Structure 1
């Protein structure tokens, strides 16, 4: 197994660093899956058992000037590594103004992602900084746990309001309850509700719009045309898990969507030009 990549463009380096920082806010540990064309950050939380799930996909050509990898075999040409994204994020933050950054899979005292960067200097002597981020290599027998999740058969799909606005609302509601009820319909309406014995608070969003896949029942996962556009689907979630998702966003997305499986799961999708992030939050009774 071999992996090495090189980033020269500072804008690409900073963008990659922001993506990793976003991942680090969402989970303490995740799997970095390397293939010839893509990098994936995966958290295969058992949503059915109350865990969150995450799938973040990056096209390597949009970030790396050089990218070489050899998987476990020609038939299974990929590498799966368990990483602590916060360690990776810290290492990348220290080299943000570098002339170049090299990332390589190495074996020191344990397997590592070694990040080496040449930093600008006033003298003619180059200054190279190296960070070793420990990783665990995941055996092929466990790879099936880290495949792309299927889009659930959702009841409602809706665009989210600006994430900063949503975060401000959720931050305030978190002081009132540990749980939040999300309601939405195919008419572009969304409600966030807190209901306790002492207080009931609802925030209304209108004219959000619905993604085009929600208009065609023949597409996988799309809601059925038989559903009344006014009908609300709902899911009650742990507000801290939603807040964690909103706090983590370092990438300014071009689109953000929410798919609701009634009383089952909230599937959040954030799209940037070259990054897609899916986040699954299970509903609670």
Structure 2
């Protein structure tokens, strides 16, 4: 197996760093799957134990100026590695002002990803600081609400309907709190959309820490964010950027 990639564009390197940093906030380990066209970061925990799932897909052409790989065989041309995203994020942050970054698969005691940076000769102080991009206002509002609800209960109920309404609810012996969101957009439901009762609320009870973890960690700066609910089963969160698709699954708790 062989892999070698090179990023020259500074904006692409910074964007790649933000994606990896977001993933590092969501999981300690995951599987990195390399194919000739894409990179996938995959997490699949045991749902029976309250585990979450994640699927992040990156088109390599949108980040890498050079990308070469050889899988196990021509019929199985892919490489899978278990990685610690936090380690990747640390490596990338130390080279964020690099003129170019090379990533390659090496083997020491075990297969490793090696990062080699071509740093500028000028001092780092002469370069503008990277402007960090945060959650858009609507998502920031949602994060603030979840942060406050976490202090009241370990669990919350997320419910939404096809009429653009979403509620966050906490109900304990001591307090009941509901935050209402209205006039949210709804993606097309397909040919049978007219047959759906737009007022019916789908509802999922969640571990509040799982949702807070997702909202706190994301730095993808999406152009669109989607939330799908499977009644009493799971919440499917999607962040879409021009060249990044990040999906996160949070199972319901009893």
Query: What TM-score results when the alignment is normalised by the length of structure 1?
Result: 0.82
In the TM superposition, 1:1-285 aligns within 5 A as 1-122=1-122, 162-212=138-188, 214-217=189-192, 225-285=194-254
Unpaired segments ≥5 residues, structure 1: 124-159, 218-223
Q: Let me know the Cα RMSD of the aligned residues.
A: 1.5
Q: Secondary structure of 2:45's match? A: coil
Which 4+ runs in 1 deviate beyond 6 A? none
- CA distance in structure 2 between the partners assigned to 1:264 and 1:122 by the alignment: 54
Contact 2:220 2:239 in 1 (8 A): no
In structure 2, what is the Cα distance between the partners aligned to 1:48 and 1:255?
A: 30
The structure-2 alpha-carbon separation of the partners of 1:41 and 1:167, relative to structure 1 and needing over 3 Å to count, comes to same
SS in structure 2 of the partner of residue 15 of structure 1: helix
Determine helix, strand or coil for the equivalent of 1:101. Answer: strand
Taking the aligned partners of 1:7 and 1:161, their CA distance within structure 2 comes to: 31
| Structure 1 residues 161 and 49, CA gap change in structure 2 (3 angstroms) | farther
Unmatched tracts of structure 2, length 5 or more: 124-135
Give the CA deviation at 1:109: 2.8
Shift of 1:15: 0.3
Verify the 8 A CA contact 1:48 1:282 in the aligned structure 2.
no
Shift of 1:81: 0.3
| Inter-partner Cα distance in structure 2 for 1:216 and 1:247 | 36
**Offset at 1:171?**
0.3
In the TM superposition, residue 228 of structure 1 has moved relative to its aligned partner by 1.2
Query: Structure 1 residue 8: deviation in Å?
Result: 0.4
1:110 deviates by 2.2
Deviation at 1:31, TM superposition (A): 0.4
| TM-score after normalising by structure 2 | 0.92
Counterparts in 2 of 1:180 and 1:34: CA distance versus 1, 3 Å? same
Residues in 2 aligned to 1:75 and 1:230: alpha-carbon distance in whole angstroms: 49
Determine if contact 1:47/1:280 at 8 Å carries over to the other structure.
Answer: no
Displacement after TM superposition at 1:48 (Å): 4.8
Whole-angstrom CA distance in 1 between matches of 2:80 and 2:166 = 38
